[in-house]
Amino acid sequence: MLTGYGYIALFLILAVAFAVGTAVIPIGLKRLKVIPSNPSAVKQDIFECGIPTIGKTWVQFNFRYYYYALVFLTIDVLVLFLYPWAVDLRSLGYPGLWAVLVLIAIIVIGYLYAWKKKALEWK
């Protein structure tokens, strides 16, 4: 019964090995001086189409896009949670339905609040 999990374990090892490998190999090569690294002021500077930047770039700019992204994120995560429920719908029966409805109600309240506060209008 346990053999089923063997493959997952193997896959886990491979994934971790790959992740750590891609992080460690460049550092190792840099230590071994294989990757040439001679940093200079211009190289660290901002690349803006070949011209030094004008004025200061750390400015406060309009916030509206961020609201939009947040509302999208909440609804997206909601859909993520609906997915396992939808797969096993029949056996969960009505108790499952009530639980999901509670979850959806919470998200919809938040959405209505954002809607009323005009977060979605593109000023």
Shortest distance, position 69 Cβ to another protein, whole Å: 14
Shortest distance, position 104 Cβ to another protein, whole Å: 30
In angstroms, how far apart are the furthest CA atoms of the chain?
Answer: 66
Q: Does 37 bind another protein (CB under 8 A)?
A: yes
**Can you tell me which residue has the tokens 């947040």?**
70
Q: Are 96 and 44 in contact (CB under 8 A)?
A: no
Which residue in the set 2, 7, 43, 101 belongs to the binding site for another protein (CB under 8 A)? 43
Q: Does 40 bind another protein (CB under 8 A)?
A: yes
Which residue in the set 5, 11, 18, 63 belongs to the binding site for another protein (CB under 8 A)? 63
In angstroms, the CA 109 to CA 111 distance is: 5
Which tokens is 120 given?
A: 């979605």
